[in-house]
Amino acid sequence: MSATVSSDRERAGTGIAVQNLRIGLTARPGVDVVDDIDLVLKPGEVVGLVGESGSGKTTVGTALLGYTRAGALIEKGKVLFEDKDVLGLPWQQVRQLRGEEIAYVPQDPAAALNPSIRIGKQIVELLELRGIGTPASRLQGARDGLAEVGLPNDDEFLRRYSHQLSGGQVQRVALAMAFLPKPKVLVLDEPTTGLDVTTQGMVLQTMGELCRSHGVAALYVTHDLAVISNIADRVAVMYAGQIAELGPRETIFGQPTHPYTRALLDSIPHLSQARALTGIPGRTPAPGARPDGCRFHDRCSYAIDECSAGVPELREVAPDHLVRCIRSEQIGHWDISRGTVPDSDPNQHREPILTLGDLKVFYGHTEVVHGVSFEVGKAEVVALVGESGSGKTTISRCVGGLHKEWTGSITFEGNELGKGSRSRSASDRKRVQYIFQNPYLSLNPRLTIEQIVRRPMELFGLASGKEATDRVVALLDQVALGPAVLRYQASRLSGGERQRVAIARALAAEPDLLVCDEITSALDVSVQGSIVALLEDLRQTRGISMLFVTHNLALVRSIASRVQILNAGNVVESGFVVDVMDRPQQEYTQRLLANSPRID
């Protein structure tokens, strides 16, 4: 490993190099957050740092600026920038470096811009602080910077406050401010998370162009493999504080060698083909709870005894392709099409279970959904897709009885459903179950998992006492949770586990229709994979129908048979997933598809 790294370093020139970095916790000596990180960023190159939550990717990103969050401590290693070790510099010089030579774009730029200073003034202030230009030229500098990121730069725009910009515009202002001091290194920490695909597409394109034209070495930190595959030249996959695999983009996505990289790729959906998604069993270990030896061995399907014996080195298996796995030569090749399944059959007979007729939804006097009609068949998954503000969640809340201000009709098995849950019959409430987007909010933190899951049974008189407990255990088993969690409170579970509990609660009522509102968007991709696999299994074994709300078009391909594309409260296109995806008719759908990051 040392040979390749040192030769990389020679070629790095004016880039930045991380050497043997280890960051620990001040409160728990001997426990590392990240360990043994070697990474070189060359000028004009975008390196993607991808990992799931808890992998330490953000910690590595901020370490490039010589920063660690409170409680963490850089124990050893160097960050070499222009022959200086950033970690060894006095703070005055580090402060000078930050923003000027090494810039940082945060995940939530709205929090980074001062809400009470106008955009133009904020950029001029930045130039003043950095001593760039003359007082006369700074305003023009601000205009040029905005133009570079494709924003308007007239006086009207400069006079705006940050809350008067859209999310994508704010992110591009943050990009402009990062690029204005002409930094040599740029750290981007999930800058497009929370943006719509169209906006994300534009921001990513702007960013890529700027990095390459300015010769900036960029580190793009994200959990989103699809984004990485669009923007990065090289990719580093992190797991449990170590780099598991590092290589050129084509290699990582074409011939992934580390079992973790393969498992990650197996759990993400593709736009171009339906795939049976799988998750990774177990959960990402927290610092201090990581296993000895290879940190992935307890979740790895290729693990042998030796894997738990020693920590594997990051080895070069092909030029520029490094893998931290002792069995990389023995585990064979990986095929992207392995998980492919046929798209659902368009000619299959369908019996409608849920029918929406001319649904118009209001918030106060504002109409937000303008006459939407569609139906969901028995044991069928229909996806509602759209960008934020398209009304997809609003429609699902009306179906779930959580929003009352609507006109039109929602018919469930021939019965008109009442507006709110309280005006519906117990049978209707039981048979239509709603699963929320955020599992961190949808479970009462004061109740135990058993209390949460058995409540619907008691409420609808399905079971009580010992029988109810047995059913709870059976349900938890079905969502792949052990009986150990019965007495836990939700705060002890990870996001994916919480979402499984939420699914178990919905199943406890023995529903015929599940309304799933973005239920995987708060979860890591490997967890998303296992949740999707669980839902597909439920559909097949129990014949449950689903209304699946999402913004992720690729996910739709793997889970739904039909899709409704929404824009500003109207259905712009609908039909079978395979037709809509492969032959989109409407310009809006085409634009959505074109902007969706894709892996294939």
Partner 1 sequence: MTAVSEPTPGPSPAPAPAEKSTLRRALDQKRFTVGLTITAIIVLLAVFGPLLAPHGQNEVVGPTFSSKGLFGTDYLGQDVLTRLLYGGRVILLISLFATLLGMVLGVLIGVVAAYAGGWWDEVIMRLNDVTLAFPQILLSLVVLTAVNQPRAWIIIILVGISHAPRVARLARGVALGIVSRDFVYAAEALGERRSRVILAEVLPNMSAPLLAEAGLRLTYSIGLVAALGFLGFSTDPNAANWGQMINENRLGLTIQTWAVLAPVLIIGLFTVGTNLMADGVAQVAQRGGGSE
Residues that bind partner 1 (CB under 8 A): 281-283, 285-286, 289, 400-402, 421-422, 424, 426, 429, 433-434, 436-438, 440-447, 455-456, 459, 477, 479-485, 488-489, 491-494, 496-497, 505, 509, 530
For partner 1, the closer of residues 373 and 494 by Cβ is: 494
Rounded to 5 degrees, φ, ψ at 16 are: -135, 145
For partner 1, the closer of residues 438 and 586 by Cβ is: 438
For partner 1, the closer of residues 236 and 453 by Cβ is: 453
**Least distance CB 57 / partner 1 (angstroms):** 21
* SS3 (DSSP) at 298: helix
For partner 1, the closer of residues 140 and 425 by Cβ is: 425
Of 581, 38, 565, which Cα lies nearest the Cα of 273? 581
The bridge status of strand 381-385 relative to strand 545-550 is parallel
For partner 1, the closer of residues 491 and 541 by Cβ is: 491
* SS3 (DSSP) at 275: strand
**Ramachandran sector of residue 20 (left: φ over 0; alpha: ψ -120 to 50; beta: rest):** left
Specify the amino acid at residue 320. Answer: D
341's CB contacts (< 8 A; 6+ apart) are 274, 275, 276
Q: How many residues does the chain have?
A: 600
**Least distance CB 31 / partner 1 (angstroms):** 15
Using an 8 Å Cβ cutoff, are 15 and 217 in contact? yes
**Least distance CB 497 / partner 1 (angstroms):** 6
For partner 1, the closer of residues 331 and 486 by Cβ is: 486
**Least distance CB 459 / partner 1 (angstroms):** 6
**Least distance CB 216 / partner 1 (angstroms):** 37
**Least distance CB 399 / partner 1 (angstroms):** 10
Rounded distance between C-alpha atoms, residue 128 and residue 119, angstroms: 14
Burial of 321: CB neighbours in 10 Å, binned 0-12, 13-18, 19+: buried
**Least distance CB 311 / partner 1 (angstroms):** 20
**Least distance CB 500 / partner 1 (angstroms):** 8
For partner 1, the closer of residues 83 and 305 by Cβ is: 305
For partner 1, the closer of residues 333 and 365 by Cβ is: 365
For partner 1, the closer of residues 436 and 588 by Cβ is: 436
Q: Angle at Cα 100 formed by Cα 156 and Cα 84, nearest 5°?
A: 170
DSSP state of 300: -
For partner 1, the closer of residues 1 and 459 by Cβ is: 459
Q: What is the DSSP string of 491-505?
A: GGS-HHHHHHHHHHH
Residue 550, strand partner residues: 385
**Least distance CB 197 / partner 1 (angstroms):** 25
CA 136 vs. chain centroid, Å, equals: 43
Burial of 494: CB neighbours in 10 Å, binned 0-12, 13-18, 19+: middle
Burial of 112: CB neighbours in 10 Å, binned 0-12, 13-18, 19+: middle
**Least distance CB 307 / partner 1 (angstroms):** 18
Specify the amino acid at residue 215. Answer: G
**Least distance CB 208 / partner 1 (angstroms):** 36
Q: Angle at Cα 527 formed by Cα 521 and Cα 531, nearest 5°?
A: 80
For partner 1, the closer of residues 14 and 427 by Cβ is: 427
Residue 366, strand partner residues: 363
Q: Angle at Cα 465 formed by Cα 459 and Cα 468, nearest 5°?
A: 65
Q: What is the 3-state secondary structure (H, E, C) of 519-549?
A: CCCCCCHHHHHHHHHHHHHHHHHHCCEEEEE
